[in-house]
Structures are given as C-alpha cells and as structure tokens.
Structure 1
Amino acid sequence: MGFIIIDAHSHLWLKQDTVVEGLPIRTLENGRSLFMGEVRQMLPPFMTDGVNSAEVFLSNMDYAQVSAAVVTQEFIDGFQNDYLAEVAARYPDRFFVCGMCEFRKPGYLDQARQLIARGFQGIKIPAQRLLLQEGRVRLNGEEMMQMFHLMEQNGVLLSIDMADGDTQVGELEEVIQECPKLKVAIGHFGMVTRPQWKEQIKLARHPHVRIESGGITWLFNDEFYPFKGAVRAIREAAELVGFEKLMWGSDYPRTITAITYRMSYDFVSKSAELTEREKALFLGENARSFYGFHNLSELPYIKNMSE
C-alpha cells in the first residue's frame, strides 16, 4: 500500500469483570460477555476464552499491516492498568498505552500521579460515563483541572471519549485554554452520527488537539461496508480542521465482530474520495508524530489462501 498504518484507538483486557451504572459486565465464553443486563458478542466467536490479549492483537495487526496501536481504556472493560504496563514493557515499539483512573468518585488525582510515576504516557477518560445520576463529574472541576496541569507538566497525553454532541465541549474547551500544551485526542470521531458532532471536531482547531476515528464503523454500522457516509464525514471534518488533525482508529476488538480488522481501515485506503496524501496522513502519519512512535517497520502483505 505504501502507507504506514497506526491504530489510534484500541482496547486490550485479560478478563471483563466490573460494574457500570449498577449493572454487571462479565466475560462468558465463545467471545460473549454479560453486558449490562444482556448477553453480547463482545469478541469474535473464535476467541473462545474471552482473553483479548496483546499477542492476538499483534497477529491481527501483522496480518492487516498495522505497524503500531494506541491502547485506550473504558470503564466497561474494567481497569487494565497492570496488564497494559506489562504490554508496554514487552512491546514498546508497537503499543502506546493509556492508564485510567476511577474518575467517578473523588481521589483520582493521586491515582494519576501513580500512573505517571509508573511511566504511563497517556491517561484515558471515558467522559461519556461521567454524567452520573448522583451528579455529573465535570471536566473543568477543581480536581480535574489539577490533574490536567499535572499531565501537561509531565508531557502526558489525554485520550478522551465524550458524551454526544456539545454536552461536554464547553468544559473541554476550558481545559484546553487553561492547559494549552496538553495533548488531547478526542475519540469516536466526535460521536459523528449524533447531532452537533462537529462541535467536538472544532476543538481540533487548537494546536495540540486531534480527532481519532475509533468506533466510526460502529457508528455507521447500519450503513455498513464500505461506509461511504463515514468517508464523507471524514472529509467534512477535514474541511473544518484540516487532514493534519485527523487520525484513524478501529475500536478493536469490538468492531471486528461485524467486519475484519483490515476492513476497519481499507474503506479509507480504497476510497476514491480521498487523495493518496490525505490517506497517508489519516491512516498513520498524523498518529506517528502525535504519539511519538519510533522504530516502525513496514509489514509485508501476506496473500490469503483464497487469492
């Protein structure tokens, strides 16, 4: 293909065993999980033990010619800090991992200090989960702002998924203004299929803010491959902030229950609506510079038996 490909939004876990909004999430078998009251196909059915490991992901990455990946976190998967620290130490040239704090109750500033001391280069906030019944946790609250200043001082990146539309845009705008050197990666392409999604995209007009497309194939799932609406949305976002601010992400492994890992990006690489330069920026070059990946190797294409 001639592109360096980097996945800016993925997930790893050894086991799901947590509670979100009072409802359990548990690993079952054959790739299924009990998810907040119903059984869902969380992983492809051949991942029978429910382990979403770095080694299986690397096999997928090598096959799909993806050189490196950013591993984020989400409350629905439970806290994976210990495992991800091991992954980063084992595969430093393949993975950029994000730690996660318990942001749903006070005391996370100390947790952030500990993550930074352990060497985590990024911290993930699933901010869409912070609109709690008992009271909203605001991104511009006192403890949050202290944490963001700490991250800015230590060069630690913020990876954040936001609630639909402009619900939290004003809060994050205040954070960006207060901490102008803090690197921020906004996930799920601004929840692109929801009303007012472009308000999140516009935050990338700030110098150190980027948008990544993790989950875009999930959001356009009703349309399905080759996701022409997603390609149009990528171009619309580029018209607002420029292609230099946009990065591809897969939301692996959740999205590969419906499509293959390669399909999660080749709807972009095969599109006639984007130039080769735009594809190169979106699929890897922007992420390489933003996350500071080095020592990347180009992976060979391996023919399928069906070819």
Structure 2
Amino acid sequence: MIIDGHSYCFPPLGEANGFPTVQEHLRYLQREMADHHQPVWRLRDWAVGDNSLLAEPQDKTLQGLKEVNFRSGGYGRFVWTVEGEEYAKQYLPPYLTDLSHPPEMLIAQMDYIGIDRAVLHAHPIFGFLNDYLADCVQRYPNRLFALASIPEWKIEHDSQGIVNEIQRAYSKGLNGLQFSVHNRYRYSVTESWDAPACRPFWDGVTALGKPIFFTICAPCPGSTVEDYLSQLRIWQGWLTRYPNVSAVLTHGFPWRLFLSDHGLHLPDALFEPFRTSSAKLQLLFQISLGNVWDYPYTQLHPTIVQLVETLGSDRLMWGTDMPNVERFCNYRQNLETFRTHCQGVISDQDINNIIGGTAAQLFNLGDSQ
C-alpha cells in the first residue's frame, strides 16, 4: 500500500474558507507570501521584485503588512499592486486556474501514478476547512484521511471551545489534528504553545485519542538553528508529558537550515525528541529543496540512510505537499525519488515502510485495506 502522508485539498483561495471574512483570509495569505522563498516578479516585464513589497521585513506578524490590494491572480499565483505596477508570486502550480484543488483532482492524480491513499493536511493558508475536509473523507472514505485545524493562537483563551470543535470534526470523520506552532507568532502570541495556560487544551485534545501532527519551526524566517532546536525542546517536553499519544513531526526538519556543500548535515540534537518517544517523522524534501537540487535528488541519499539508521524506517513517513510540490517536480517524480531511486540505498522493506507502511500502521490499516 502506498500512502501520501501529506497532501491538500481546498476550495478557491480567493474566498473566506472558514475565516470570518475574505479580507482576513487574504491578510493571512499575504503574511505567508511575505516570508515565502518563491520569487517575486513584476508582471509587465518579469523584472525581479522582493518580499518587502508585501510587508515590513522586520515585522513577522500581521501588523507588518503593507496595503497593496493583495489578491488571487488565478493560475496558481497571487498578485498585488505597488505604485501602479502589478507584481506576482507563483505559490501553486499554474494548472490550478482558480487556486483550488478539489478531491476529485487529487484522486485522479493518485490514480495516475498508483497511490492508494492520501492524508489531507490543514493550514490557514488554505483556510479553516474542517467541514470541507470532512466532506472529502465522507465522499472518498477508502482513499482519503484528513486532519482538523484550529486557531492555535486562541488555545489558552478558549480551550474547551476549541477542544469541542476538534471533537466535532472527529465525529464527522476527520482522523487527527494538525497543530502549526508558527501560527501563534503570526498573531503576536509570544507565550509558548506548551505554557501552563495551554495545558487544559492539551489535556482535552490528547484525551480524544487521535494522532497529532505538529508543524514546528523557528519563531520566524531568518531564525537560527538554535532557535529551531529550542522549539524542538518544547516539543520533547510535550512528548514526555503525553507519552501515549501518536505524534508526527510534519515536513521533516527545516531542511534549508541544514544545507552544506555536500548535501544536508543533520546534528545529533535534532533527534533528541525521538530518542525519548515513539514520535514519527515525515519526509518532505522536494517542497523545501526542489529548487536547490534536481530530480532524482541523489544528494538526499546519505540523509535518508542516516534517518533510517537513526530512527528506523517504521518511524518515517513519505509525503509530498501536493499540489504545492509541483512547482518543482511532478507527483510521479516525488514518489520515484524513494520507490525507484532509493533501491540499493536502503532495503526494500525500508522503502515500503516509508512510502506507506508507517502511515498504514499509524491509521490502523490492515494489509488488505
């Protein structure tokens, strides 16, 4: 069984998508685009621009945004206007004409290359889509899992209300929670996400018994390795407090922080939370490094070997970030990076675990399902 452990379905991104208003969603999108590494260009002549057109470089919160009529430009891009000139950033592949990725499109893509199931992740970039994703799962129960999302910046102020929303989402068929640490910093919350005031929330959500997928990053772009490790230490404390909860670190590590002349250099400190827990690690390389190296990404082989030897392949999960990853490589290439090009690098059993076995175990799927 092949399972894409990290993909997305979403309605058009120019809509509210669970935010109170369309404008609030667009403001969040503008904040994310202001820190994203995809290039900026001027539509008139393709002249190179930069992210400072969208926000003050030193202010990583929503307060730092500039008024530029940020909007959906269709065909996978966002556009905005500065001094009468239109600029763009290609965040999604151009075939997403209205910046939507419905489940029918994802399943057609899965069918084409032979992927059995996919796990739909959640992020405010796409909106708060618990009901939308529940509908996806209800319509395609043998193909899709999905994760719930919440406003992470509110957990200490409305812990029971947010736990109730997660429980409601689970009752409609969602299969776990995605918790994105950096969303709190977007809304100027500097208190740790595992501070004592957050404990009622965590006690409530862990009692629901579903996996929790953590998206953990340093507080803001430009942060150091030590900034990231400080967040991992918080997560390690959380894992110690809730040892019986199935936890997954999404995306893997922030791979760009660990680039070296010869590939990736992963310090031992990254693995500390895994040594004291049963947490799993997602392997999403191309979405981060797809514009650094080219297919078949053989530069990754030493890192993949290191991860298998350090953690074991039964704790590693392949994922793609579809459809976003098709900025750099197509769906088949993403799968073949492991299924074909890791043959002889790691064992066949390790490959099978990574591209589906670990995820199947996490969601209690038998071999025949």
| TM-score tier after normalising by the smaller chain length | 0.7 to 0.9
Deviation at 1:26, TM superposition (A): 4.4
Gaps of 5+ in 2: 15-24, 29-60, 219-227, 259-265
2:185 pairs with 1:134: no
Q: Where does residue 6 of structure 1 map in the other structure? A: 3
Q: Where does residue 305 of structure 1 map in the other structure? A: none
Q: Where does residue 237 of structure 1 map in the other structure? A: 307
- Indicate if the aligned counterparts of 2:166 and 2:205 stay in contact, CA closer than 8 A: no
* Cα distance in structure 2, aligned partners of 1:229 and 1:129: 31
Give the number of equivalent residue pairs: 293
2:213 pairs with 1:124: no
SS of aligned partner of 2:74: coil
The 3 A distance-change label for structure 1 pair 152 and 63 is: same
Deviation at 1:55, TM superposition (A): 0.7
Deviation at 1:143, TM superposition (A): 4.5
Q: Where does residue 56 of structure 2 map in the other structure? A: none
> Scaled by the length of structure 1, what TM-score is found?
0.86
Range with greater deviation from structure 2 (197-206 or 7-16) = 197-206
AA of the residue aligned to 2:75: N
2:362 pairs with 1:290: yes
The 3 A distance-change label for structure 1 pair 160 and 256 is: same
Deviation at 1:54, TM superposition (A): 0.7
Deviation at 1:69, TM superposition (A): 0.9
Deviation at 1:200, TM superposition (A): 4.1
Deviation at 1:108, TM superposition (A): 5.0
Range with greater deviation from structure 2 (40-49 or 249-258) = 40-49
SS of aligned partner of 1:212: strand
- Indicate if the aligned counterparts of 1:33 and 1:42 stay in contact, CA closer than 8 A: yes
**Greater length-normalized contact order (CA 8 Å, ≥ 6 residues apart):** 1
Q: Where does residue 32 of structure 2 map in the other structure? A: none
Deviation at 1:239, TM superposition (A): 2.2
Deviation at 1:203, TM superposition (A): 2.2
AA of the residue aligned to 2:318: W
AA of the residue aligned to 2:168: A
2:341 pairs with 1:279: no
Q: Where does residue 163 of structure 2 map in the other structure? A: 112
Residue-by-residue CA offset, 1:80-108 (whole Å, 9 max, x unaligned)? 11210111111122111111111123325
* Cα distance in structure 1, aligned partners of 2:270 and 2:134: 30
Give the RMSD, CA atoms, in angstroms: 2.5
SS of aligned partner of 1:92: coil
Gaps of 5+ in 1: 298-307
Residue-by-residue CA offset, 1:254-300 (whole Å, 9 max, x unaligned)? 10122111111211112231221110111101110112235866xxx
Please show how residues 90-109 of structure 1 align to structure 2 within 5 Å.
90-105=139-154, 106-109=157-160
Please show how residues 1-307 of structure 1 align to structure 2 within 5 Å.
4-17=1-14, 18=25, 19-20=27-28, 21-22=61-62, 23=65, 26-34=71-79, 39-105=88-154, 106-119=157-170, 120-132=174-186, 134-164=188-218, 165-195=228-258, 199-214=269-284, 216-221=285-290, 222-271=292-341, 272-293=344-365
SS of aligned partner of 1:8: strand
- Indicate if the aligned counterparts of 2:131 and 2:169 stay in contact, CA closer than 8 A: no
Residue-by-residue CA offset, 1:105-145 (whole Å, 9 max, x unaligned)? 33254123222133232111121333347332423123533
- Indicate if the aligned counterparts of 2:214 and 2:249 stay in contact, CA closer than 8 A: yes
* Cα distance in structure 1, aligned partners of 2:70 and 2:120: 20
- Indicate if the aligned counterparts of 1:192 and 1:233 stay in contact, CA closer than 8 A: no
* Cα distance in structure 1, aligned partners of 2:365 and 2:78: 33
Query: Which consecutive aligned stretches of 4+ in structure 1 deviate over 6 angstroms post-superposition?
Result: none
Range with greater deviation from structure 2 (118-127 or 107-116) = 107-116
Deviation at 1:71, TM superposition (A): 1.0
Residue-by-residue CA offset, 1:199-251 (whole Å, 9 max, x unaligned)? 4444233443100113x112222112111232322221222211111010101
AA of the residue aligned to 2:193: L
AA of the residue aligned to 1:15: P
AA of the residue aligned to 1:67: D
SS of aligned partner of 1:98: strand
AA of the residue aligned to 2:123: E
* Cα distance in structure 2, aligned partners of 1:292 and 1:277: 19
AA of the residue aligned to 2:91: M
SS of aligned partner of 1:146: helix
